[in-house]
């Protein structure tokens, strides 16, 4: 699996030869100004919820790549009306795709599109594949529901929000890593806006105290997982 960071909560994951793109938001992120949107590959676009900082580039990338949108039913219906194909899901449900199995799981947050359209319940994704398993949490608070993920899945890594104000902070995210029993975390949803700027060293130390590795990827960086 290859993991590429496009800033904020946007990641590309190459798994079993398919390109998964999570929560595309690039032009609205001044830190991601060097990312060339027209070069981003996508067979699937996974959307955690409908807020502008997670759906910014869905239309432009889905129109170019013909990627299939995977999200909650309300979000895929919204894009269906724009002529973009999707696979709608809801909490607790799983579907076997050609790259692996996806489960849509609970996130404690809110969800509406920038135009005011209701965006269903916000969620996260568990991806299980021959190349490994991971959790993309979306925007969420720390919740006891995360303990169920630790009971049900064997995760190789997790993408967790750490920036506070709109989501859990890195203290809660370190507790989340314990709940989900995962010792490798990639941070997201930090530094993009003034209210979510964090001290990288302190965040890394907080995870280390719990024996968990925190990776803060550079925007544009690709790593093998």
| 158 beta partners | 135, 185
- For 106, 119, 125, 158, 167, the CA distances from 20, given in Å and listed in that order, are 20, 21, 12, 15, 23
Considering the complex, what minimum distance in angstroms separates the CB of residue 196 from Mn ion?
A: 9
Tokens of 95: 């579907």
Considering the complex, what minimum distance in angstroms separates the CB of residue 119 from Ni ion?
A: 9
Q: Which of 4, 51, 103, 191 binds Ni ion (CB under 5 A)?
A: 51
Q: How many residues lie near Ni ion (CB under 5 A)?
A: 2
Is 43 a binder of Mn ion (CB under 5 A)? no
Rounded to whole angstroms, how far apart are CA atoms 131 and 14? 10
172 binds, among Ni ion, Mn ion, none (CB under 5 to 8 A by kind): none
How many C-beta atoms lie closer than 10 Å to residue 219's C-beta?
19
- Among 37-45, 55-63, 138-146, 213-221, the segment contacting Mn ion (CB under 5 A): 138-146
Q: At what angle do helices 73-80 and 58-65 cross, to 10 degrees?
A: 70
Binding mask 155-194 for Mn ion (x = CB under 5 A): ----------------------------------------
Positions 116 through 145 that interact with Ni ion (CB under 5 A): 139
Nearest to 107 by CA among 171, 54, 29: 54
- For 32, 40, 210, the CA distances from 18, given in Å and listed in that order, are 23, 13, 34
8 binds, among Ni ion, Mn ion, none (CB under 5 to 8 A by kind): none
Considering the complex, what minimum distance in angstroms separates the CB of residue 166 from Ni ion?
A: 6
Q: Nearer to Mn ion by C-beta: 14 or 139?
A: 139
131 binds, among Ni ion, Mn ion, none (CB under 5 to 8 A by kind): none
Q: Nearer to Ni ion by C-beta: 72 or 129?
A: 72
| 120 beta partners | none
Where are the extended beta strands (E) located within the chain? 2-5, 11-15, 18-22, 44-46, 68-72, 86-89, 94-96, 101-106, 123-129, 132-136, 157-161, 184-188, 213-215, 222-224
Is 53 a binder of Mn ion (CB under 5 A)? yes
- Among 32-40, 72-80, 136-144, 180-188, the segment contacting Mn ion (CB under 5 A): 136-144
Q: Which of 14, 43, 139, 169 binds Mn ion (CB under 5 A)?
A: 139
Positions 151 through 180 that interact with Ni ion (CB under 5 A): none
Report the interface residues with Ni ion, using CB under 5 A: 51, 139
Report the interface residues with Mn ion, using CB under 5 A: 51, 53, 139
């Amino acid at each position: 699996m290859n993991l590429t960071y496009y800033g904020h909560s946007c990641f590309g994951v190459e798994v079993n030869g398919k390109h998964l793109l999570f929560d595309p938001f690039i032009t609205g992120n001044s830190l991601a100004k060097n990312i060339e949107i027209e070069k981003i590959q996508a067979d699937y676009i996974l959307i955690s919820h409908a807020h502008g900082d997670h759906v910014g580039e869905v239309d432009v990338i889905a129109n170019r790549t013909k990627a299939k949108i995977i999200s909650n039913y309300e979000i895929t219906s919204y894009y269906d009306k724009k002529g973009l194909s999707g696979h709608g899901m809801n909490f607790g449900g799983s579907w076997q795709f050609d790259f692996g199995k996806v489960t849509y799981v609970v996130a404690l947050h809110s969800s509406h599109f920038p135009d005011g359209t209701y965006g269903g319940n916000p969620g996260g994704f568990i991806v299980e594949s021959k190349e490994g398993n991971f959790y993309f949490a979306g925007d969420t608070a720390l919740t006891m529901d995360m303990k169920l993920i630790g009971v049900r899945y064997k995760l190789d890594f997790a993408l967790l929000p750490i920036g506070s104000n709109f989501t859990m902070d890195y203290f809660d995210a370190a507790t989340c890593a314990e709940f989900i029993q995962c010792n490798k975390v990639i941070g997201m949803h930090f530094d993009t806006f003034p209210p979510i700027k964090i001290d990288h060293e302190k965040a890394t130390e907080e995870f280390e105290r719990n024996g968990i590795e925190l990776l803060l990827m550079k925007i544009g960086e690709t790593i093998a997982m």
